């Protein structure tokens, strides 16, 4: 399996997604756009396209962030979807998937930073790739926005602070507003680059302090993510036969 990551910032690392890919012996490539790497010129050599998060949003301009080109990334995503590739977006990546499919992103009702439960919708509980999540699962959060919904999209999970935590756009395309990739190492990177938000944690209902973030155990959600990825890989392989 050939897994390609689009990474917007050094502190928005792939974490558990990359752990899964490397532990399975998949071929991993990256476009680290913050470091000047080019986006893929095509998707023929990609099986899984995984678009990571970042402090940007799909409306961020080149003047606001010189290394981020939302339209160019949306073109890569749209090409991967048309080619029947597996596509996953995390946070900003989920919003870019929605935009690429014609569904504008929106602001989330609440800022969420920390580890909080998501609840699965009835469709989510019955979905073959998510049934192992159970009715609720505690997952990582680090966001202000949420992905748009196409007419064919299905909301898989929501939280008290955000109605669109996981979205299925098709059988192979998924948006995760939540951050199931968090590991202690990734959390440290995010803490170091979120001083302003975390210093105001008391002002928000769903923002944890650095001490609380460091105290969380992220292994259960990582394992749930690994199982989802295994199932998606199997579904993708079947689709190519």
pLDDT computed for residue 67 by the predictor: 97
Q: What is the pLDDT of residue 201?
A: 87
Structure tokens at 53: 């998060």
Question: Smallest Cα–Cα separation from 9: which of 167, 194, 183?
Answer: 194
For β-strands 206-207 and 86-90, DSSP reports them as: unpaired
CA distance linking residue 117 with residue 135, whole number of Å: 10
Query: How far apart, in whole angstroms, are the C-alpha atoms of residue 158 and residue 155?
Result: 8
What is the DSSP secondary structure assignment for residue 35, as one 8-state letter?
G
Residue-level pLDDT, tens digit, the chain, 241 residues? 999 999 999 999 999 999 999 999 999 999 999 999 999 999 999 999 999 999 999 999 999 999 999 999 999 999 999 999 999 999 999 999 999 999 999 999 999 999 999 999 999 999 999 999 999 999 999 999 999 999 999 999 999 999 999 999 999 999 999 999 999 999 999 999 998 889 888 899 999 999 999 999 999 999 999 999 999 999 999 999 8
- 74-95 burial, b for 16+ CB within 10 Å, e for fewer? bebbbbbbeeebbbbbbbbbbb
Which domains does the chain carry? 2-239 (3.40.50.880)
Q: In this predicted structure, what is the pLDDT of residue 184?
A: 98
């Amino acid at each position: 399996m050939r897994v390609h990551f689009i990474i917007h910032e050094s502190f928005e690392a792939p974490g558990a997604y990359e752990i899964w890919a490397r532990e399975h012996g998949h071929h991993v490539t990256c476009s680290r756009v913050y470091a000047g790497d080019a986006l893929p010129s095509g998707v023929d050599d990609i099986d899984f396209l995984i678009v990571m998060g970042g402090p940007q949003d799909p409306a961020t301009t080149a003047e606001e962030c010189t290394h981020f080109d939302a339209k160019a990334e949306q073109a890569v995503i749209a090409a991967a979807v048309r080619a029947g590739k597996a596509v996953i977006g995390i946070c900003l990546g989920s919003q870019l998937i929605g935009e690429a499919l014609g569904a504008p992103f929106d602001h989330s009702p609440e800022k969420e930073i920390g580890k909080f439960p998501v609840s699965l919708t009835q469709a989510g509980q019955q979905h073959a790739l998510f049934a192992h999540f159970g009715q609720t699962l505690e997952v990582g959060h680090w966001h202000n926005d949420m992905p748009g919904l196409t007419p064919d999209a299905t909301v898989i999970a929501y939280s008290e602070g955000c109605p669109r935590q996981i979205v299925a756009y098709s059988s192979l395309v998924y948006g995760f507003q939540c951050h199931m990739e968090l590991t202690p190492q990734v959390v440290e990177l995010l803490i170091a680059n979120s001083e302003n938000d975390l210093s105001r944690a008391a002002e928000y209902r769903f923002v944890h302090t650095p001490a609380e973030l460091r105290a969380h155990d992220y292994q259960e959600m990582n394992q749930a993510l690994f199982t989802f990825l295994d199932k998606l890989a199997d579904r993708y392989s079947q689709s190519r036969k």
